[in-house]
Amino acid sequence: MRNLIKPVAIAAALALAAQPAQAGWKRIETTAAADIGKGAMSVKPDSEWNRWSRRPSNTGEVWTKDGLYLNQLSFFGQIASGETIYKDRKKKDRPLPAFKSDMLLPDVAELFQSNFSIEHDITQFEVTELSPGKLGSVDGLKMSYEYALPGERLQRKGEARMAIHNGKLYVVNFAAPKLHYFDHDIAEVRGMMDRVVLK
C-alpha cells in the first residue's frame, strides 16, 4: 500500500483497527478481467486493488488500495426490482428504499443517495453534479457528491455511475477523502467505469 499523508493516516489506522477481525482481503491482479459480484459484471483494472471479503450486498463487492477509510470502490450489479442497493441491515429503524424496474434515472439517483446515506449514517450529503453518463456501454447517469462521515471534520468526495440494464440496476461508486486521495485515483476509476462489462 502507498505512503499515507500523516493526518489522514492516523485516523485511517484507527478505522482499520476497528474493522471485524474476520474480514479478509484478496489482491485483484491486472493480468485479466476480474469477475465482480458473483458474475454480475467484470472489469480489468489498471493497477492492483484489494477485494474485501465482506459483501455490501448479495451481488456487491468493495475494493480498496489503501484501506476503506482512504479509498473505497464499490460495485453493485443485477439489482432486481424490489431489492435494495445495500443489504438492508437497519430495516427495523431505517429501512432502505428499494429499486423498481420502472424507475427513471433521476429516481435512481435519489435511491442511491438514500441507500448510501442510511448505510453510512450520513446527514451531510451534497450533490455537486448530476449528468448523463455511461456505465460501460450502457447509457446511465453520473453523480458527483460531497459528504462527511459522522463525528469527523474530514470532507469526502464521491462519484457514482448508475445504469439500468435488462431491467436490473447497476451501480459503481468511488468515495475517498477530498484531500489527495480522491484526485489521486479518480482517473483510473473513471477508466474502469467506462469499460466495465454489465452481465
> Each residue of 2-56: pLDDT tens digit?
544 444 444 444 444 344 444 699 999 999 999 999 999 999 999 999 999 999 9
pLDDT at 23: 64
Q: Is residue 1 part of a domain?
A: no
b/e 111-149 (16+ beta carbons within 10 angstroms → b): bbbbbbbbbeebeebeeeeeeebbbbebebbbbbbebbb
Domain that holds residue 124: 6-198
Q: Is residue 58 part of a domain?
A: yes
Which whole number is the average pLDDT over 174-186? 97
Q: Is residue 88 part of a domain?
A: yes
Which whole number is the average pLDDT over 59-69? 95
Which whole number is the average pLDDT over 101-128? 96
Q: What is the CATH number of the domain that holds 118?
A: 3.40.1000.10
pLDDT category, 123, cuts 50, 70, 90? confident
Q: Is residue 42 part of a domain?
A: yes
pLDDT at 90: 85
Q: What is the pTM of this model?
A: 0.89
Q: Is residue 25 part of a domain?
A: yes
b/e 55-89 (16+ beta carbons within 10 angstroms → b): ebbebbbbbbbbbbbbbbbbbbbbbeeebbbbebe
pLDDT at 86: 98
Total domains in the chain come to 1
pLDDT at 91: 84
* The pLDDT of residue 162 is above 60: yes
Q: Is residue 16 part of a domain?
A: yes
pLDDT category, 92, cuts 50, 70, 90? confident
For CA atoms 84, 64, 175, 92, give the dihedral sign.
Answer: positive
* Helix, coil or strand: residue 15: helix
